[in-house]
Structure 1
Amino acid sequence: MCVSLWRNLILTLILCLSLSDAAFHIVPDRLQVFEYESVYFHCEGLEDSAQLRGIRNTEGFVSTCEERMSVLFCIILRAYGEDAGQYWCETKGGDRSNSVNITITAGSVILESPVVPVMEGNKVTLRCRNKTTSSHLPADFYKDDLFIRSSSTGEMTIHSVSKSDEGLYKCRISDVGESAESWLAVRGKTLHHLKLKLDENI
């Protein structure tokens, strides 16, 4: 009886996680963008893309969109400072997806970081990018305003991410500038471990 209840509980939790992964959501190509660069988004997770009205922020809808295989793709061809802010997908019925915060900088440095949560235990690389050169310049990395490390390549890799790595990250290139902050989200493996435990007990 107890084993059966435990099994049903785990299956319910796993189902909820699966639904969450497949839920209506928005994904940008980057969280930080230099001014005048393009920003790409797509909306997914709806069974019928005809329900989608588009991608918008507080100022209005992104006008340049196209549908491909039931996924809506939108682009801001030339981003300006006023394009910064929260973006979300919206249905014709008024339902909204998660929102993402896009930073548009007129400065010379951005931080390239994951746009979706990173699974615990996976590897993640943060890159400090200079607007005027494609070469990798030495950079300093910060988490929650505290210095973490310097990198001669302008990259910082965390080989096995944990929840303690979650936070606001930024980078600085000496004599060039400092990036804005971006949130690194980390998703735990709790339900995955529960499923393994369930399989052991069946």
Structure 2
Amino acid sequence: MEVTTLLYRLLLFECILMGTEVQNTCTQKSDAVFLRIHPNRQQHFEYDPVSFHCEGGDGSAQLRGVRSSEEINPECQRKRTSTGFVCTISNIYAADSGEYWCETKGGQRSNSVNITVTAGSVILESPALPGIEGDTVSLNCRSKAIIPDLQAYFYKDDLLMENSSAGKMAIISVSKLDVGLYKCSIPGVGESPGNWFAVRALQTETCPFFYLLLVLRTVFTIVLVTLLLLLVGLLHCGKLRVTHK
């Protein structure tokens, strides 16, 4: 009876411990800092407004950036939101091209977003963040001036991929094979800057270490139960021997 009670308490303790570790893992993920931008694209025309949304963290995050190999604190109009803050640059310039991220006072850093600001007449609109494997990503060749019946040519690594009369191209079921340098051109108008398109793997778990912790805890619990059952068996055999003497 005492051994059974001990077994029950150990199993209960194990379940509580596993739940605590999984909860801590999920909490750490939910506290992560994340950066997204609006409009959601890598390339922008000069004098366009661009907003940087820093979400999550401990509330101390600041927008950071690297322009021309120099790390800076970008000047922008900062506004608090329910999930973090927004920094808006009302008129962005070619000199603002670079890498941006959010960073807390404790050194916690978000994902990075690279943007290109051009004084040219054409940009390639593609998502600012890497494409996710299996998704469909739309590319749009955009002219600064309104052009009816826009004809656009799309290139990957300087090789012609598609000629579109609608100025749009779709990458269906994105994979690692789609990684590369993209650009587009509009006859008689101009060519966009090159745009590096990256792809990341699909992550289905809300908490990335949940299943790993679950497997490890399950194995540990099985081993623990096996040892305790073995102990119970040995004790029972010992009692039988004592009884038969």
Shorter-normalised TM range: 0.7 to 0.9
Task: Check conservation: 1:129, 1:136, Cα contact below 8 A.
Answer: no
Aligned to 2:50: 39
Task: Check conservation: 2:63, 2:73, Cα contact below 8 A.
Answer: no
Taking structure 1 as reference, are residues 151 and 22 closer, same or farther at Cα in structure 2, changes over 3 Å only?
A: farther
Give the letter aligned to residue 69 of structure 1.
S
In the TM superposition, residue 178 of structure 1 has moved relative to its aligned partner by 0.6
Q: Which structure: greater helix fraction?
A: 2
Secondary structure of 1:175's counterpart equals coil
CA distances 1:93-120 after superposition (whole Å, capped 9, x unpaired): 3443232211110000000001122222
In the TM superposition, residue 87 of structure 1 has moved relative to its aligned partner by 1.3
Give the letter aligned to residue 179 of structure 1.
S
Q: Counterparts of 1:45-194 in structure 2 under 5 Å?
A: 45-46=56-57, 48-49=58-59, 51-57=60-66, 58-133=71-146, 135=148, 137-189=150-202
RMSD over aligned Cα, in angstroms?
2.7
Task: Check conservation: 1:55, 1:62, Cα contact below 8 A.
Answer: no
After TM superposition, which residue ranges in structure 1, 4 or more long, deviate above 4 angstroms?
none
How many angstroms apart in 1 are the aligned matches of 2:78 and 2:35?
13
Q: 1:23 aligns with which of 32, 56, 65?
A: 32
Q: Percent identity?
A: 48
User: Comparing both chains, which one has the higher relative contact order based on Cα–Cα distances under 8 Å and sequence gaps of 6 or more?
Assistant: 1
CA distances 1:156-179 after superposition (whole Å, capped 9, x unpaired): 012221211122111011111110
Task: Check conservation: 1:124, 1:158, Cα contact below 8 A.
Answer: yes
Give the letter aligned to residue 32 of structure 1.
Q
Q: Which structure: greater strand fraction?
A: 1
- What TM-score do the two structures reach when normalised by structure 2? 0.64
How many angstroms apart in 2 are the aligned matches of 1:189 and 1:36?
35
Task: Check conservation: 2:35, 2:113, Cα contact below 8 A.
Answer: yes
Q: Pick which of 80-89 and 93-102 moved more.
A: 93-102
Aligned to 1:7: none
Total equivalences in the alignment = 178
Structure 2 segments unaligned to the other structure (5+ residues): 1-21, 212-245
Structure 1 segments unaligned to the other structure (5+ residues): 1-11
Task: Check conservation: 1:56, 1:90, Cα contact below 8 A.
Answer: no
Q: Pick which of 52-61 and 30-39 moved more.
A: 52-61
Taking structure 1 as reference, are residues 83 and 190 closer, same or farther at Cα in structure 2, changes over 3 Å only?
A: closer
How many angstroms apart in 2 are the aligned matches of 1:134 and 1:68?
37
- What TM-score do the two structures reach when normalised by structure 1? 0.77
How many angstroms apart in 2 are the aligned matches of 1:87 and 1:140?
29
